Amino acid sequence: MPIGKMIQYKEMRQHPVLCSHLPETRWISKARTLRMLAAYRTVFIKPNYGSGGTGIIRAKKLGRKYEIRCGSSRRIVRSQAVRRAIRTYRRPHRRYLVQQGLRLAKYKGSIFDARVYMQKPESEWIISGITGRVAAPSKVVTNYRKGGHAAPISKVLLRVFKNDRTKMRSTLDQIIELSKIIADTMGKNHSVRELGIDLAIEKSGQIWIIEANPHPGHMLFTQLPNHKMIRNILKNKRLIKKH
Ligand SMILES: Nc1ncnc2c1ncn2[C@@H]1O[C@H](COP(=O)(O)OP(=O)(O)O)[C@@H](O)[C@H]1O
Ligand SMILES: [Mg+2]
């Protein structure tokens, strides 16, 4: 039972803490896309029921022209042709949303985000793993299925914050805090026992919520040098299966 990205957004928007961490998200229309491009310069266009980074389109304002990217394909067009260019990348019969583009911080030259693996083996949500997820070179999505790889989150954050341990710790604490609220919020409306939360981190340390996946993959965590998290995830998966 997938949970659409828009319904998640609307549910999280109701929460007084989460609302300030959500990028503006709307159902797609030509007028909204152009307005949001003017306001944010970059927007992400995605299928409401997408996963694995598939079909994600990035539109970016470049002076008077616009760059439209999807996977390894790219077009540069004038404003009149933005809609047509986006359409060439859209799959039929799917609802799309348009979202404020976020400036993900970089690790060793590639963008990354944070993936938090949450599980509810008993009555409480627990964080079984947190990792940095670094995009493949020059990709605009960090997904494992699009070549993204795991890197220890503390290592990634320390590099972003130039070895400022206090800032690393407080960002990590915020990631944990937000993830717990997200899981509680989603858990109220949906019967889920696992969630893979995607959080964007900007260079400044500002954290944004991208989405929460009810069926997260765990392979990413096998790439970490320390196997504690993956062992935890697999142990809790067995407990959840028993329910
Ligand atoms: N608004 C955004 N700004 C910047 N990058 C984004 C944005 N939305 C998505 N991304 C990038 O694309 C990836 C996939 O987007 P996501 O919404 O998680 O879709 P999927 O369900 O395909 O994983 C994210 O992990 C992130 O790297
Ligand atoms: Mg995702």
How close is the Cα of 228 to the center of ligand 1, in Å?
Answer: 27
What per-residue confidence (pLDDT) applies to 176? Answer: 98
Beta-carbon neighbours within 5 Å of ion ligand 2 = 198
What 3-state class would DSSP assign to 175? Answer: helix
How close is the Cα of 211 to the center of ligand 2, in Å?
Answer: 6
**Ligand 1 site residues, Cβ closer than 6 angstroms:** 23, 44, 46, 50-54, 56, 99-102, 104, 113, 141-143, 198, 200, 210-211
Please tell me the residue having the least CA distance from ligand 1 atom 4: 102
Please tell me the residue having the least CA distance from ligand 1 atom 26: 141
Q: From CA 157, how far away is CA 81, in angstroms rounded? A: 39
Q: From the alpha carbon of 135, which atom of ligand 1 is closest?
A: 27
Mutate-to-test residue for ligand 1 from 5, 22, 42, 56, highest number of ligand atoms within 8 A of CB: 56
How close is the Cα of 152 to the center of ligand 1, in Å?
Answer: 20
Starting from the CA of residue 195, give the closest ligand.
2
> What is the per-residue pLDDT across 142-183, written as a single tens digit (0 to 9) for each?
999 999 999 999 999 999 999 999 999 999 999 999 999 999
> What is the per-residue pLDDT across 208-238, written as a single tens digit (0 to 9) for each?
999 999 999 999 999 999 999 999 999 999 9
Mean pLDDT of 6-26: 97
How close is the Cα of 100 to the center of ligand 1, in Å?
Answer: 11
How close is the Cα of 80 to the center of ligand 2, in Å?
Answer: 30
Q: Could you tell me where the beta strands, DSSP code E, fall in the chain? A: 25-27, 42-47, 57-62, 65-70, 73-77, 96-100, 106-107, 110-119, 126-134, 149-151, 194-201, 207-213
Q: From CA 239, how far away is CA 194, in angstroms rounded? A: 12
Sorted by where each begins, the domain ranges of the chain are: 24-100, 106-242
> What is the per-residue pLDDT across 70-123, written as a single tens digit (0 to 9) for each?
999 999 999 999 999 999 999 999 999 999 999 999 999 999 999 999 999 999
How close is the Cα of 210 to the center of ligand 1, in Å?
Answer: 6
CA distances from 223 to 43, 127, 141, 156 (A): 30, 18, 18, 15
Could you tell me the maximum CA-CA distance found in the chain, to the nearest angstrom? 58
Alpha-helical (H) ranges within 66-164 are 82-89, 153-160
**CATH code of the region 106-242:** 3.30.470.20
